[in-house]
Amino acid sequence: MSALLRIEDVSVHFPVRKGLLQRQVAEVRAVDQVTLSLRKGEAFGLVGESGCGKTTLARTVLRLVDPTSGSIWFDGTNVSALRGKSLAPFRKQVAAIFQDPFSSLNPRMTAGQILSEVLHVHRYDGRIRDRVKELLGLCGLAPRFVDLYPHEMSGGQRQRVGIARALALEPELIVCDEAVSALDVSIQAQIINLLEDLRAQFGLTYLFIGHDLSVVRHLCDRLAVMYLGRIMETGTSEDIFSSPRHPYTQALINAVPAPDPFGEEQRKHVALKGEIPSPLNPPSGCVFHTRCQIAADVCARRVPPLNWLGPQHAAACVAIDNPNHPTP
């Protein structure tokens, strides 16, 4: 399978300006030298805690943020070089679903208006009203929803409208930014199943951003774990969850409680110490070394490269396969 999306050595740095003259006093390295590729038809997850850069990376892929360096290739075209009108075909092929179905839908527009607006803008050649009903149907909403406003719907129904809007132009890639995080457990399961069904039906590719590891593991074939703008580990869901190699990935998985009182009693809990450092002033060397249980002197000096451990599995840690590295 060929790569549909390639993120090549992308960095996104935001300047921090201060004072009357708005001089740049610092910069936030939201995303630092990230390289990833998504195959057509796969669901790829980006996980990490707040400030890890997962949302900035997603916004860069959507071309809502310009990368400071590096390039983004979609279907063989360097889209990070495109500007203005030349972006239109790309925008048709890439859609987004956001976290908050309350703020991502215009409260003054009915579901029908929200969906037909997208079709109008991109000059859909067909009967818009029919297509709107079809889209609602695909997302499990009855035709009567055409005339309903967002406040007349539940959170789950609103998220279905958001998904219908993303599907409107038959995109290749959908970026899902915390698409199920704001929903109640029982509704979340409905939306997860809907996303899975739609992917199977239309051969969609997902870039799924989430902080809930259980959800990402369930939905995604492969994923990358980010911390302070960098990729710590990437691999298939099986690689990452059955044999995590990076100490951060291990701690992250350990922190997620499983809904099983018996299993939880057996499990050894090692809470990660300390807080996530400020991305304004990230630690030197490996950004994780300040919270790492096995950090050595070298970790504060050298940025570890992503090392391949298997055909799809890579991790950025100097301790891996190094018998001389100290253990906790």
Partner 1 sequence: MPLLDIKDLTVSLFQDGAETPLVREISYSVEPGEILALVGESGSGKSVSSLAVMGLLAKSLRVTSGTAHFEGRDLLALDPEEMRKLRGRQMSMIFQEPMTSLNPVRSIGAQIMESIEENLGLTRSQARSRAIDLLKEVGVADAERRLKQYPHHFSGGMRQRVMIAIALAADPKLIIADEPTTALDVTIQAQILDLMARICRDHGTALILITHNLGIVARYAQRVNVMYGGRIVEAGTARSLYSAPRHPYTDGLLQSVPRIDQDRSIPLRPIQGSPAAPFMAIPGCSFPPRSPYGTARCQTEVPAYRDGVACHTPLTLKTAEAV
- Residues forming contacts to partner 1 in the complex (CB under 8 A) are 49-50, 154, 156-157, 184-190, 192-193, 211, 213-215, 217-219, 237, 241, 251-264, 269, 271-272, 275-276
Half-sphere exposure of 66 (CA within 13 A, CB side): 6
* Cβ nearer to partner 1, comparing 253 with 298: 253
Structure tokens at 240: 């990452």
CB of 45 to partner 1, least distance (A): 11
Say which residue the tokens 């038959």 belong to.
170
- Cα 277 to Cα 24, 56, 235, 254, 295, distances in angstroms: 21, 17, 25, 20, 16
CB 163 within 8 A of CB 156: no
The CA R_g of the chain, rounded to the nearest whole Å, is 21
Q: Which residues pair with 222 in a beta bridge?
A: 44, 236
- State in angstroms the smallest separation of the CB of 287 from partner 1: 14
> Are 3 and 74 contacting, i.e. CB atoms less than 8 angstroms apart?
no
CB closer to partner 1 out of 63 and 158: 158
Cβ distance to partner 1 smaller for residue 193 or 322: 193
Nearest approach in angstroms of CB 261 to partner 1 is 4
- CB nearer partner 1, residue 29 or residue 158: 158
Task: Between 262 and 323, name the residue whose CB sits nearer to partner 1.
Answer: 262
Least separation in angstroms between CB 157 and partner 1: 8
- In angstroms, what is the minimal distance from the CB of 213 to partner 1? 6
Asked whether 148 and 110 are in contact (CB, 8 A), the reply is yes
